[in-house]
């Protein structure tokens, strides 16, 4: 392989004997061209992105029983994912089944009738990235890769290093060399190969593509096995529906980085409806961005079908993708379902973090602050229906972005260690 884009025309030797469960092919999201399953991510006809296609064979009741009998992690949905049937018994990080928190305090404060927070900070490395990495790892093994790799500046790096450690395989994680010490430590702890690259994220992303083309047995989770990786986000939709008692919410608010998560949540809901696991009731999908990196929100508001790249400048670093690959598909999804996309300032993000922590005891990373603040803005501008049942997604953990709140929270008072000092401070 000599190109940084591997197309299905390149090789076909990995196809025979693959067990990727109900996955039967990869399909181009642009031209619809179908190719065999394999380590491909770009269409050989039009270079459009490839996506996993399925043939689901289990009947509704059988499927529901299989899920409900399954383990308390994403592998309960193995019959709906591109993974081998026996995946639950293979060493992996086993994310998922995170809490769906009924957020009555926050709902009351915002004037919403019923609100839930899907809190993915409960995953093994405390972000939703564990879901996509777990599926990528499962597929990568089946496709014959022996190293798990990624370029990342944070959550993905943690997830890849941890999952590879559990699986007993090598990880190679590329990070910018000027990353905060804290983020370096949380990945280095797992003992894989951690490469600090003297460049920005664009530089390491490009380098990852070049290495992927050179190292035939390295699976860069978000590059050459991206079609499988992205499917992991469907499990957010499955879990929400099952946790609601096998039904769909009326509105969801999802943060947008590449946009894949939002698109896959919609895909998950649609699949459940088609399979008869839920009534296919209508739902509206809303997107959330930080104003400092809001290319999809701008396109939505301007009525465009394509997304003009921006240079990110926001504290919400895990959402700071200036040229989001799934941007056009996000626009499709949001418009088709009657949703909207809003963006919020960094100050609003911090207020969002504080609001969620104060009302629900959930300490979110900046991406969660974006989502909460966007929920508030969508309500204030009348775009979101306060009477309709709503689910918002918290995709990460405040412990990883402490700097964001360092200047705005602190002790209520500082006192001498005496009851007299305590009483005098008026804290009772």
Distance CA 273, CA 359 (A): 33
Q: How far is the CB of 356 from a copy of itself (least distance, A)?
A: 9
Closer to a copy of itself by CB, 31 or 402: give it. Answer: 402
Closer to a copy of itself by CB, 284 or 376: give it. Answer: 376
Closer to a copy of itself by CB, 50 or 133: give it. Answer: 133
Closest C-alpha to 81, from 20, 37, 164, 142 = 20
Q: How far is the CB of 212 from a copy of itself (least distance, A)?
A: 11
Stated as kind and residue range, the H or E segment containing 287 is strand 284-290
Closer to a copy of itself by CB, 185 or 303: give it. Answer: 185
Closest C-alpha to 118, from 87, 91, 151, 96 = 96
The answer to whether residues 405 and 323 touch, using CB atoms and an 8 Å cutoff, is: no
Distance CA 312, CA 12 (A): 39
Q: How far is the CB of 99 from a copy of itself (least distance, A)?
A: 7
What's the sign of the alpha-carbon dihedral 345, 351, 354, 360? negative
Longest dimension (CA), the chain: 79
Closer to a copy of itself by CB, 63 or 137: give it. Answer: 137
Closer to a copy of itself by CB, 23 or 97: give it. Answer: 97
For residue 158, report the phi and psi dihedrals to the nearest 5 degrees: -55, -50
Distance CA 49, CA 326 (A): 9
Distance CA 222, CA 201 (A): 13
Distance CA 151, CA 351 (A): 30
Q: How far is the CB of 101 from a copy of itself (least distance, A)?
A: 8
Distance CA 148, CA 192 (A): 10
Question: Which tokens in the block code for residue 220?
Answer: 């860069």
Closer to a copy of itself by CB, 67 or 384: give it. Answer: 67
Q: How far is the CB of 116 from a copy of itself (least distance, A)?
A: 13
């Amino acid at each position: 392989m000599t190109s940084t884009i591997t197309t299905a025309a390149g090789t076909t030797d990995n196809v025979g004997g693959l067990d990727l469960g109900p996955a039967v092919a990869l399909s181009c999201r642009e031209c619809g061209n179908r190719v065999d399953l394999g380590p491909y991510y770009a269409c050989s006809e039009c270079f459009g992105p490839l996506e996993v296609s399925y043939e689901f064979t289990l009947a509704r009741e059988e499927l529901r029983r299989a899920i409900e009998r399954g383990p308390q992690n994403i592998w309960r949905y193995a019959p709906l994912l591109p993974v081998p049937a026996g995946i639950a018994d293979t060493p992996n990080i086993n994310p998922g089944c995170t809490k769906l928190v009924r957020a009555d305090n926050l709902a009351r404060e915002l004037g919403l009738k019923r609100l839930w927070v899907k809190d993915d900070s409960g995953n093994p490395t405390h972000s939703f990235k564990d879901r996509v990495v777990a599926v990528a790892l499962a597929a990568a093994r089946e496709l014959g890769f022996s190293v798990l790799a990624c370029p990342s500046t944070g959550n993905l790096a943690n997830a890849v290093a941890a999952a590879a450690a559990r699986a007993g395989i090598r990880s190679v994680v590329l990070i910018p060399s000027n990353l905060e010490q804290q983020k370096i430590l949380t990945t280095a702890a797992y003992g894989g190969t951690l490469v600090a690259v003297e460049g920005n994220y664009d530089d390491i992303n490009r380098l990852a593509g070049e290495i992927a083309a050179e190292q035939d047995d390295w699976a860069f989770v978000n590059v050459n096995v991206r079609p499988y990786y992205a499917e992991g986000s469907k499990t957010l939709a499955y879990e929400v529906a099952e946790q609601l008692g096998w039904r769909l919410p009326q509105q969801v608010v999802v943060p947008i980085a590449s946009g894949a998560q939002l698109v896959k949540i919609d895909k998950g809901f649609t699949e459940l409806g088609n399979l008869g696991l839920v009534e296919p009731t209508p739902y509206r999908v809303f997107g959330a961005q930080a104003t400092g990196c809001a290319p999809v929100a701008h396109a939505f508001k301007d009525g465009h079908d394509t997304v003009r790249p921006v240079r990110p400048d926001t504290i919400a670093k895990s959402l700071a993708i200036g040229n989001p690959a799934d941007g056009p598909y996000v626009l499709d999804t949001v418009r088709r379902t009657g949703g909207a996309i809003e963006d919020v300032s960094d100050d609003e993000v911090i207020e969002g973090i504080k609001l969620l922590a104060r009302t629900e005891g959930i300490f979110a990373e900046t991406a969660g602050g974006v989502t909460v603040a966007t929920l508030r803005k969508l309500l204030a501008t009348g775009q979101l229906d306060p009477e309709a049942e709503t689910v918002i997604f918290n995709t990460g953990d405040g412990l990883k972005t402490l700097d964001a709140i360092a200047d705005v929270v602190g002790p209520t008072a500082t006192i001498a260690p005496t009851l007299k000092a305590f009483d005098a401070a008026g804290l009772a």
